[in-house]
Amino acid sequence: LPAYKNEPISARDLYERMQNGTAPIVVDVRLPAEWMGLRIGNVINIPLNQMEALAPVKLAKDEQVVTVCNSAYRSSLGIGVLERAGFKQVASMVGGSEAWIEAGFPTIQPTGPGTAASLPTRTIKLPDAMEAAQLKRMLMDLPGTFDLVDIRPPAHFRDYNLPGSRNVDLADLIGNPAYLVGASPLVIVDRDGSLAMAAGGILAQKTNRPIKVLFGGLEAYWNKADAGSAIQSVPLPAAGAPKAPAAAPVPVPSAPKKKSAGC
Angle between helices 73-84 and 51-58 (to 10 degrees): 60
Q: What is the pLDDT of residue 205?
A: 79
Q: What is the pLDDT of residue 152?
A: 95
Residue 17 falls inside a structural domain? yes
Is residue 195 domain-shared with residue 134, that is, in the same domain?
Answer: yes
Residue 3 falls inside a structural domain? no
Q: Which domain CATH number covers 81?
A: 3.40.250.10
| DSSP output for 35-55 | HHH-BSSS-EE--GGGHHHHH
Residue 121 falls inside a structural domain? no
Place 36 in a pLDDT band, splitting at 50, 70 and 90. confident
Query: How many other β-carbons are positioned within 10 Å of the β-carbon of residue 208?
Result: 9
Domain final residue pick, 102, 117, 139: 102
CB 99 within 8 A of CB 26: no
Asked which of 95-104, 107-116, 208-217, 254-263 is least confident by mean pLDDT, the reply is: 254-263
For residue 118, the SS3 value is coil
Domain final residue pick, 102, 119, 136: 102
Residue 216 has pLDDT above 70, yes or no: yes
Residue 132 has pLDDT above 80, yes or no: yes
Residue 233 has pLDDT above 60, yes or no: no
Sign of CA dihedral 118, 121, 124, 129: positive
Going by the DSSP 8-state scheme, the letter that residue 155 receives in this structure is H
Place 258 in a pLDDT band, splitting at 50, 70 and 90. low
Is residue 90 domain-shared with residue 135, that is, in the same domain?
Answer: no
Is residue 98 domain-shared with residue 154, that is, in the same domain?
Answer: no
Q: What is the pLDDT of residue 252?
A: 52
Domain final residue pick, 68, 102, 136: 102
**Arithmetic mean of pLDDT over the chain:** 81
Residue 212 falls inside a structural domain? yes
159-202 pLDDT, tens digit per residue, is 989 999 999 998 899 889 889 888 899 999 999 888 888 888 88
Is residue 135 domain-shared with residue 76, that is, in the same domain?
Answer: no
Residue 255 falls inside a structural domain? no
Is residue 92 domain-shared with residue 134, that is, in the same domain?
Answer: no
Is residue 148 domain-shared with residue 93, that is, in the same domain?
Answer: no
Residue 121 has pLDDT above 60, yes or no: no
Is residue 94 domain-shared with residue 148, that is, in the same domain?
Answer: no
Is residue 137 domain-shared with residue 55, that is, in the same domain?
Answer: no
% of the chain surpassing 70 pLDDT: 78
- Boundaries of domain holding 213: 128-226
Is residue 147 domain-shared with residue 217, that is, in the same domain?
Answer: yes
Q: What is the pLDDT of residue 253?
A: 53
93-104 pLDDT, tens digit per residue, is 999 999 999 999
Query: How many other β-carbons are positioned within 10 Å of the β-carbon of residue 259?
Result: 14
Residue 262 falls inside a structural domain? no
Residue 44 falls inside a structural domain? yes
CB 171 within 8 A of CB 146: no
**Mean pLDDT across 89-115:** 82
Q: How far apart are CA 5 and CA 259, in angstroms?
A: 74
Residue 199 falls inside a structural domain? yes
Q: What is the pLDDT of residue 123?
A: 47
Is residue 89 domain-shared with residue 147, that is, in the same domain?
Answer: no
Place 114 in a pLDDT band, splitting at 50, 70 and 90. very low
Number of domains in the chain: 2
Buried b (16+ CB within 10 A) or exposed e, 86-105: ebeebbbbbbbbebbbeeeb
